[in-house]
Every structure is written in structure tokens, then in C-alpha cells.
Amino acid sequence: MLEEFAEKIVKLQVKYPKAVLLVILFVTLLLIPGIIKVKIEPSLEKVLPEDLPVIKTMNDMRTQFGADMVYVVLEPDYAADIREPKILKYID
């Protein structure tokens, strides 16, 4: 059903490319006033309520350690590396 619908849309786009572009342009122009009002807030603490336990813990950690940055150190396991010739031979 979805494939049939997609095929119909493709055929419509191929048959009337200028009309499709005009419709897309018209819809885009209609959406511009709303797009201007969209605000993005990347900070979770400003979006979530402050009384959540997770936010309280994050604030406590920030107070104790002075920052909320998290550093993750990864140690590669070279013995299990997929590019290891022994493992490639085993897979083959």
C-alpha cells in the first residue's frame, strides 16, 4: 500500500514537475511565519522541571565538581578487533 502511494507520487512528480515545485514553494511560504517563531533549547536542565531527581543530582554534582562535563575514556580491546588477521580468517 505504501509502495503504491509512493509510486503515484513519483509519477505525479515526473508528469508535473513545475506544479510540484510550485506547491512546495507555496507550502514553504505558508510555513515561514511559524518557522521564525521556533526556538531551540539544547539545554536539558532548562527544558525539564527542576524538582526531578536527575536534575537535582546533576546540580549537586556541578556544585561538588564545578562542571557538568562528562569525559568518557575508552580502552580498545585489540585482542577482539575485527580487523585482526586471525579473526578475519576465523570469520572466513
- Name which of 31, 82, 22 is nearest 90 in CA terms: 82
Provide the domain count of the chain: 1
Q: What are the tens digits of pLDDT across the range 22-33? A: 999 999 999 999
Name the helix (H) or strand (E) containing 36: helix 17-37
Q: Mean pLDDT across the chain, nearest whole number?
A: 85
Q: What are the tens digits of pLDDT across the range 33-89? A: 999 999 887 777 777 888 888 888 888 888 887 775 667 777 777 767 777 788 788
85 lies in some domain = no
Parent domain of 32: 2-37
53 lies in some domain = no
Q: Is the pTM of this model over 0.95?
A: no
Compute CA distances 44 → 47, 55, 62, whole Å.
Answer: 5, 9, 14
57 lies in some domain = no
Asked whether the beta carbons of 52 and 59 are under 8 A apart, the reply is: no
pLDDT of 92 strictly over 80: no
**Interior angle at CA 59, CA 58 and CA 62, nearest 5:** 85
